[in-house]
């Protein structure tokens, strides 16, 4: 069914029969057919599945029965949703972005009713993994933070195959993202919808388009900069930026924006790093470019007297290529930290991160990091990645097939069997 075609039952709540199984409610998810196809798979196994549309974009990506529109104000949402939970006997809710304005009250209401909460997002492991986790991600994750528990969990898990199996499509992701957010700007039929976006979509898309046009040139410049600084033979450190639209910045750190995190890192680097060391500040490859980060980084470095020791890396240079040359990685709570730990590089999260574990991430603070931080313990790093893959992930991606089919199959299997936050024999086999 074409994405723009209205799915049956979208405007009203059908009286679905109650099969012998659980009763799932899907809220906002990936801008993809992923949720609709997972729901179809669960129905085929005897479960019931509904969806509440909050905006026109939600409608476009739910192709199937069970859809209900919420057209009220955000203040009316808890009463509407609580009544929906009770009327339909909901046992599980599934969503992406547990900190979104509509999802926080949804989770609170669910927990008060002992309704299971499942969250999904791009994987902690990249590129072709999808997270499926109970209750929340990052700081809300139930994944253990104790080294001994992680090692014990890993002992029950198979070694993961970290090779890339499914290449996702950025072009499809961008096209569906534009379709979703521009459709959701229309005042009808959802006049009171409040978007979770930090930036208005039209300026963000224009800026992203310009950045994509310049990406090749910026990547080449970043590669030249990296070649130059590595040839100097001095200690290199990396600050891995995140997108400011990432809810984990606002919800799971003390920083209101990336400028603050960069400024704190550069100030500490200026005071405490070896005088010959250099700091590489790498932009997120999907950053929309609404801020002139190269200029901002130069201004921050100059303000702290290290203009000649801080280098900006734009474009889309592979992160592994940068980490391989660095003694340490600093980030707020990016999944780059997982990659850095897996590569044996000293890592410091400034926010709340799932990998902020003694023996994995540096625990001694930012000022001491530059001279004292040791690499992660190799056996613990291996155990962490092994347990993470088997407990919290399915293989696949959101935007292109066959990776989408694989992710849907893996999610259906985990939800059907109730095997969230526990290891399975083989994530690849479950997703097959």
Q: Show pLDDT as tens, one digit a residue, over the chain (432 residues).
A: 334 333 322 233 334 444 468 999 999 999 999 999 999 999 999 999 999 999 999 999 998 899 999 999 999 999 999 999 999 999 999 999 999 999 999 999 999 999 999 999 999 999 999 999 999 998 899 999 999 999 999 999 999 999 999 999 988 999 999 999 999 999 889 999 999 887 788 888 888 888 888 889 999 999 999 999 999 999 999 999 999 888 888 889 999 999 999 999 999 999 999 999 999 999 999 898 889 999 999 999 999 999 999 999 999 999 999 999 999 999 999 999 999 999 999 999 999 999 999 999 999 999 999 999 999 999 999 999 999 999 999 999 999 999 999 999 999 999 999 999 998 765 555 444
d(CA 342, CA 360): 9
Backbone angles phi, psi at 28, to 5 degrees: -70, 140
Q: How far is CA 312 from the centre of its chain?
A: 24
The single residue listed with the structure tokens 């347990």 is 387
- pTM of the entire predicted model: 0.90
Match 């085929």 to its residue by tokens.
Answer: 44
| Residue 374 in tokens | 């040791």
Q: Which residue has the tokens 């074409």?
A: 2
3-state secondary structure the chain: CCCCCCCCCCCCCCCCCCCCCCEEEECCCCCCCHHHHHHHHHHHCCCEEEEEECCHHHHHCCCCCCEEECCCCHHHHHHHHHHHHHHHCCCEEEECCCCCCCHHHHHHHHHHCCCEEEEEEECCCCCCEEEEEECCCHHHCCCCCCHHHHHHHHCCCCCCCCCCCCCCCHHHHHHHHHHHHHHHCCCCCCCCCCCCCCCCHHHHHHHHHHHHHHHHHHHHHHHHHHHHHHHCCCCEEEEECCCCCCHHHHHCCCCCCHHHHHHHHHHHHHHHCCCCCEEEEECCCCCCCCCCHHHHHHHHHHHCCCCCCEEEECCCCCHHHHHCCCCEEEECCCCHHHHHHHCCCEEEECCCCCCCCECCECCCCHHHHHHHCCCCCHHHHHHHHHHHHHHHEEECCCCCCCHHHHHHHHHHHHHHHCCCCCCCCCHHHHHC
Which residue, chain included where needed, has tokens 């893959």?
A: 389
What's the rounded Cα separation, in Å, for the pair 385 and 389? Answer: 6
Report CA torsion sign: 172, 338, 240, 309: negative
**Per-residue pLDDT tens for 300-310?**
999 999 999 99
What would the pLDDT profile of 2-58 be if each residue is shown by its tens digit? 343 333 222 333 344 444 689 999 999 999 999 999 999 999 999 999 999 999 999
- The rounded distance, in Å, linking the Cα atoms of 124 and 189 is 36
Best CA proximity match to 240, nearest among 144, 126, 155, 148 = 126
Tokens 């709570």 belong to residue: 333
């Amino acid at each position: 069914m074409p994405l723009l075609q209205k799915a049956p039952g979208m405007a009203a709540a059908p009286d679905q029969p109650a099969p012998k199984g659980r009763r799932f409610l899907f809220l906002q998810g990936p801008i993809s057919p992923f949720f609709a196809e997972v729901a179809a798979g669960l129905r085929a196994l005897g479960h019931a599945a509904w969806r509440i549309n909050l905006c026109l974009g939600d409608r476009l990506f739910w192709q199937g029965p069970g859809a209900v529109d919420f057209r009220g104000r955000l203040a009316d949402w808890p009463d509407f949703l609580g009544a929906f939970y009770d009327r339909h006997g909901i046992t599980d809710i599934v969503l992406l972005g547990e900190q979104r304005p509509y999802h926080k009250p949804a989770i609170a209401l669910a927990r008060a009713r002992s309704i299971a909460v499942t969250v999904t997002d791009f994987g902690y492991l990249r590129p072709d993994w999808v997270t499926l986790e109970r209750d929340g991600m990052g700081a809300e994750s139930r994944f253990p933070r104790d080294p001994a528990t992680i090692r014990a969990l890993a002992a029950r898990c198979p070694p993961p195959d970290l090779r890339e199996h499914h290449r996702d499509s950025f072009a499809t992701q961008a096209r569906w993202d534009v379709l979703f957010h521009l459709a959701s700007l229309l005042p009808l039929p959802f006049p009171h919808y409040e978007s979770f976006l930090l930036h208005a979509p039209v300026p963000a898309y224009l800026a992203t388009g310009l950045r994509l046009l310049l990406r090749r040139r910026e990547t080449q410049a970043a590669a030249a900069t990296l070649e130059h600084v590595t040839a100097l033979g001095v200690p290199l450190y990396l600050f891995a930026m995140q997108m400011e639209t990432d809810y984990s910045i606002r919800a799971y750190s003390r920083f209101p924006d990336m400028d603050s995190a960069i400024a704190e890192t550069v100030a500490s680097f200026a005071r405490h790093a070896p005088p010959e060391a250099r700091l590489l500040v790498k932009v997120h490859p999907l950053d929309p470019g609404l801020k002139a980060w190269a200029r901002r980084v130069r201004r921050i470095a100059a303000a702290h007297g290290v203009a000649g020791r801080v280098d900006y890396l734009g474009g889309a240079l592979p992160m592994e290529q940068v980490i391989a040359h660095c003694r340490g990685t600093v980030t707020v709570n990016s999944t780059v930290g997982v990659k850095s730990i897996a590569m044996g590089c000293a890592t410091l999260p400034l926010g709340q991160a799932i990998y902020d574990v003694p023996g994995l991430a540096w625990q001694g603070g930012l000022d001491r990091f530059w001279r004292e931080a040791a690499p992660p313990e190799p056996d613990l790093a291996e155990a962490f990645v092994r347990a993470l893959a088997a407990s919290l992930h399915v293989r696949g991606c959101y935007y292109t097939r066959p990776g989408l089919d694989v992710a849907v199959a893996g999610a259906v299997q985990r939800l059907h069997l109730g095997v969230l936050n526990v290891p399975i024999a083989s994530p690849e086999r479950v997703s097959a």
